Structure 1
Amino acid sequence: MSNRAPNQARVIPLRPPAERPAPERSAAPRDPLWRDLVGDVLRRERQAQERTLKDVADEARISMPYLSEVERGRKEASSEVLAAAAHALGLSLGDLLARAQGELVRLDSRRPGRSRTTTTSSYDGLCLAA
């Protein structure tokens, strides 16, 4: 007879436990996402104007929860939504995107081993295609 308690079952594994690979400690930092950059710019501008989410969302005619998600980088907002939010803050869509690009350049220049490539073009701007 067994010396186990009568209500305990014996578990027999069907496969040996899988070994998990050790997490990489020297993983390269990921590139910032565009939605995070745009959301940060919207939030900083709204807070600089001391305005509430509700106020800006109402003026932009978008829902307050959706604007919050955009500001936190949780949603990829359409160009119409971004333009509406920017205009509610007194910015053009170009202003919003230029500020986000400036933030991207600033963050990218801080990363070790990254350098801006030089081009022969005199245009140093941002181009988005839909």
Structure 2
Amino acid sequence: MAKLNVQKTVGGLGDYLREQRGQAQMSLRQLAELADVSNPYLSQIERGLRRPSAEVLQQIAKALRISAESLYVRAGILDADDSGARMVEDAIALDPRLTERQKTALLDIYRSFVGTEEATDTELAATVTEANQEEK
């Protein structure tokens, strides 16, 4: 039963990655190159055949210019307690009509309204380390 849930989570992650890659107007090859992962490995992740480590997810998130937390939630590494806020932040970050300055301003305004702050690099590093230890 647990294996079924893991496969469901990994498959959902792959669909989400494919969707985000499409919104960023990137080919699989382009994303693989930017994320510094192999083309076949990224393809296997998108098809739900592989479960990437938290570090690989972070590289992919950086390449897609989305929050790593949104990928961690999709992969089952983090709880989805604040995934709604992350989805809004991802949508702002991916909107090609906005300049970087506009994106930053919108994110600051949104966070002030909902009372969230961006996770610090230290918090993200701790989460990644913890997730990698659980995988072993």
**Correspondence list, 1:8-27, <5 A:** none
Deviations 1:46-77 (A, max 9, x none): 01111101111001100011000001101111
**Correspondence list, 1:30-41, <5 A:** 33-41=8-16
RMSD over aligned CA atoms reads 2.7
Structure 1 runs, 4 residues or longer, greater than 3 Å off: 123-129
Letter in 1 for 2:81: D
Deviations 1:67-97 (A, max 9, x none): 0000110111111111111111001210223
CA distance in 2, matches of 1:43, 1:57: 12
Which residue number in structure 2 is paired with residue 124 of structure 1? Answer: 81
Letter in 2 for 1:124: D
Which residue number in structure 1 is paired with residue 27 of structure 2? Answer: 52
Q: 2:45 aligns with which of 70, 79, 92?
A: 70
CA distance in 2, matches of 1:42, 1:60: 12
How many pairs does the alignment contain?
79
> Who wins on radius of gyration, i.e. which is larger?
1
Letter in 1 for 2:70: D
Which residue number in structure 1 is paired with residue 57 of structure 2? Answer: 82
Structure 2, unaligned stretches of length 5 or more?
84-126
Q: Is the 8 A contact 1:39 1:71 kept in 2?
A: yes
Q: 1:61 aligns with which of 31, 36, 44?
A: 36
CA distance in 1, matches of 2:50, 2:42: 9
**Correspondence list, 1:100-119, <5 A:** 100=74
Percentage identity across aligned positions? 34
